[in-house]
Structure 1
Amino acid sequence: MHPLLTLSILFSYLSLPLLIVADGSYIGVNYGRIANNLPSAVKVVNLLKSQGIDRVKLYDTDPAVLWALSGSGIKVTVNLPNEKLFFAAKKLSFALSWLHKNVVVYYPHTLIETIAVGNEVFVDPHNTTNYLVPAMKNIHKALVKNNLHNFIKVSSPIALTALGSSYPSSTGSFRPELIEPVIKPMLSFLRETASFLMVNVYPFFAYVSNADVISLDYALFRENPGSVDPGNGLKYFNIFDAQIDAVFAALSALKYDDVRIVVSETGWPSEGDSYEVGASPQNAAAYNGNLVKKILSNGGTPLRPNANLTVYLFALFNENGKVGPTSERHFGLFYPDMKKVYDVPFTVAAMKGY
């Protein structure tokens, strides 16, 4: 749906900025490039480093970007696009060739740590769902053949719409028609490979659709009375936690409690159409800033206080080539000239003055 960003906490080791948070909670960023006015990859990498961002998620394997990231110490997630799932699923030889061309030649100088196989495949209009798990397995087999499976994980970002029920959180469950064909096989694969489930969550869209009943403070992590989930008795003070716990509940319902979650996309737009209530620089700063503070200080949720979430913000830049409502082109933390759209802390040190 949208692209995202990796940030983290201050700690230095052998001159590489290794940012460690709350025993495993991290902030990263999605680096989408659907635009015709973005700075060069080299300038972008310098921007990331200047902001203390040490994790970045890409939507492709562009050579210029991967070479620019070489030697930066920034951990990278690359993407095998939906249109290549069929080939990766059907032929191990394709997976081996793709891996060599897009991962092996860069690693370890470029610190590729995850391969995202597809993106929101279940809502892909080209109906690639049946190829997802076979493609993931073949990519993993290719990693094994290159002795990289202990260093690089394989996952696939899913949209929250993969849930048939998400409110209240305690009723969280996957869509019935997806469970046997793809959800269970994917979760079994993630468990077997010690990987994680990537989930894209956007409280902004939940707020826009229900602004008459959801308070803006509840959406933006600001002080509010909270809401008690009648199913589990837990009290929620923001939509983000409620959405993540709905995913945890869905995992629990299928007995995959041990599968971790990585939030592969989340963000708030600084501008939107008239019906996109709440889209503004002030609200975007509040959502992303308060989310970063939450993750870097504890990272958990009411249902899983020790979840140690890694979260990738969407997105690094405003992207003028994206289609759809105005908000789609205004999720960026930075303008294409690399000036901040609004101020957000990306590290523990920066949080002190926020």
Structure 2
Amino acid sequence: MNSPHFLSFLLLLLTSLHYSALSDSGTIGINYGRLGDNLPSPARVVQLLKSQGVTKVKLYDSDSSVLSAFSGSGISLTVGLPNDNLASAAASTSYTDSWVESNILPFHPKTIIEAIAVGNEVFANSATTPTSALLTAMKNVYTSLDKHNLSSSIKISSPVALSALNSSYPPSAGAFKPDLIEPVIKPMLQFLNQTNSYIMVNAYPFFAYIDNTDTISLDYALLRNSAAGNPDSGNGLVYKSLFEAQTDAVFAAMSAVGFDDIKIVITETGWPSKGDEKEVGATPENAAAYNGNLVRRVLSGGGTPLRPKDSLNVFLFALFNENQKTGPTSERNYGLYYPNEEKVYDVPLTLDGLNGGQNMTESKAQVPAPAAGQTWCVASENVGEEKLQAALDYACGQGGADCRPIQTEATCFNPNTVEAHASYAFNSYYQKNSRLSGSCDFGGAAHVVTQSPKFGSCDFPTGY
């Protein structure tokens, strides 16, 4: 099965592996919301998080019982000052002095507090929360921290929803809404720049997908390496996932108003496991695919096409399904866990877990989960038989994959399709290379999955 195409694939693979080795891995955190009447105690939550290797957690308030539970855990927290408190926080530093003295000083540093989210998606909730109060509140919290020499160790920021953008496609055309720029966006970015902080962004490819299923492919939304990706004529870059496109749209929007050096932390992103009839794609399988592919993408290192050297730092939404959240069904079904601490689906949150090196808690989720940390490599859809055949030739030739089972009359010959044969060969190569980051790409012809592939009766191995 040798082919002249193999040199190009070898170059792509070596480049990918070399880049992964040189790039710093990003961080995966998780949002711990508590809008439920059946959630486990904070102490049990801390033990659950530690068992999964989670080192970063974002809260939506600063509840004393929660902060106390995290004392000595080694888990870093981002705490929240809710929107309802913004007007008071903006009114005077006496309020923020009292807030810091009650919500930060009694706990930090035994409870590690690394950031304060002042408000949440204020621009999206401007009807009830005046945007004019935001920047003043942020500055006042900073001033109150500074009085206790904490302003350099605890960052101040505020989560921004993508609805603050006037345009996001293509990513190079990213721009903030004009009415927000001068009153609040530019002053806030100036403050973040001066305090060496970062902008917090809440990004949900799920929302863009369900609103544009006719133009956005599911593979693109779920971070699968699909075909050639989407080229951006504005910057000459190619995007293989909606998540990266959305992130770069924010970078472009900041650059358009004169700020090129501010980092982004994705403070919320996720995919629901259940939704209303119109929320197409809200399934446990898709939620597992989105979060699993995102975790692997983040922990494998590197940044976005526009900022390739900046590692990605992401907080998944959310830890639990929360039964008291309002809105569509999806709002109550973003959790990785049910309130009884059983997994909704299995997504390891560390690189060791993804590569099979971590013992994960047994899942009793609705989605049958593979053994702890198991992943497979399969052919991407809609890349064309010519590209798949070339990648298949490389994998079975120079790549050293075990392709004996897909030979004529062998155990995995049927179904006799290029996609099925390529998937088997790609997975063999991937498993032989210890599921190393970059070993499941083949120039965009393959992607990682967390559910065992099904092609006829053929079993796909997870090791050699």
- Do both share a fold (TM > 0.5)? yes
Residue of structure 1 in register with 2:84 after alignment = 83
Change in 2 beyond 3 A, CA 1:275/1:157: same
Matches within 5 A, 1:93-132: 93-124=94-125, 125-132=127-134
Tell me, in whole angstroms, the C-alpha distance in 1 between the residues paired with 2:267 and 2:295. 14
Residue of structure 2 in register with 1:5 after alignment = none
Residue of structure 2 in register with 1:168 after alignment = 170
- 2:77–2:112 CA contact under 8 A, matched in 1: yes
Tell me, in whole angstroms, the C-alpha distance in 1 between the residues paired with 2:86 and 2:63. 18
Matched residue of 1:28: which SS?
strand
Residue of structure 1 in register with 2:462 after alignment = none
Matched residue of 1:37: which SS?
coil
Q: CA deviation at 1:24?
A: 5.9
Q: CA deviation at 1:23?
A: 2.9
Matched residue of 1:311: which SS?
strand
Amino acid at match of 2:198: F
Matched residue of 2:28: which SS?
strand
Count of matched residue pairs:
334
Tell me, in whole angstroms, the C-alpha distance in 2 between the residues paired with 1:29 and 1:99. 24
Tell me, in whole angstroms, the C-alpha distance in 2 between the residues paired with 1:116 and 1:24. 24
Amino acid at match of 1:175: K
- 2:325–2:332 CA contact under 8 A, matched in 1: yes
Tell me, in whole angstroms, the C-alpha distance in 2 between the residues paired with 1:119 and 1:105. 24
Matches within 5 A, 1:1-354: 23=24, 25-124=26-125, 125-225=127-227, 226-352=229-355, 353-354=374-375
Q: TM-score normalized by structure 1?
A: 0.93
Tell me, in whole angstroms, the C-alpha distance in 2 between the residues paired with 1:123 and 1:221. 26
Tell me, in whole angstroms, the C-alpha distance in 2 between the residues paired with 1:86 and 1:33. 23
Amino acid at match of 2:54: I
Structure 1's unaligned 5+ residue stretches are: 1-20
- 1:78–1:115 CA contact under 8 A, matched in 2: yes
Amino acid at match of 2:147: K
Q: CA deviation at 1:224?
A: 1.1
Q: CA deviation at 1:128?
A: 2.0
Change in 2 beyond 3 A, CA 1:24/1:223: closer
Q: CA deviation at 1:221?
A: 1.1
Q: CA deviation at 1:299?
A: 4.0
Q: Aligned-pair RMSD on alpha carbons?
A: 1.1
Moved over 6 A (4+): none
- 1:22–1:296 CA contact under 8 A, matched in 2: no
CA deviations over 1:191-231 (Å, ceiling 9, x no partner): 00000000000000000000111110111111312111121
CA deviations over 1:312-341 (Å, ceiling 9, x no partner): 000000000011111000000000011111
Amino acid at match of 1:171: A
Tell me, in whole angstroms, the C-alpha distance in 1 between the residues paired with 2:146 and 2:213. 48
Tell me, in whole angstroms, the C-alpha distance in 2 between the residues paired with 1:151 and 1:105. 16
Tell me, in whole angstroms, the C-alpha distance in 2 between the residues paired with 1:54 and 1:83. 28
- 1:201–1:263 CA contact under 8 A, matched in 2: yes
Change in 2 beyond 3 A, CA 1:86/1:63: same
Tell me, in whole angstroms, the C-alpha distance in 2 between the residues paired with 1:311 and 1:159. 14
Tell me, in whole angstroms, the C-alpha distance in 1 between the residues paired with 2:302 and 2:136. 32
Q: CA deviation at 1:22?
A: 5.0
Matched residue of 1:264: which SS?
strand
Amino acid at match of 2:158: S
Structure 2's unaligned 5+ residue stretches are: 1-21, 356-373, 376-464
Say which structure, 1 or 2, has more relative contact order (CA 8 Å, 6+ apart).
Answer: 1
Matched residue of 2:116: which SS?
strand
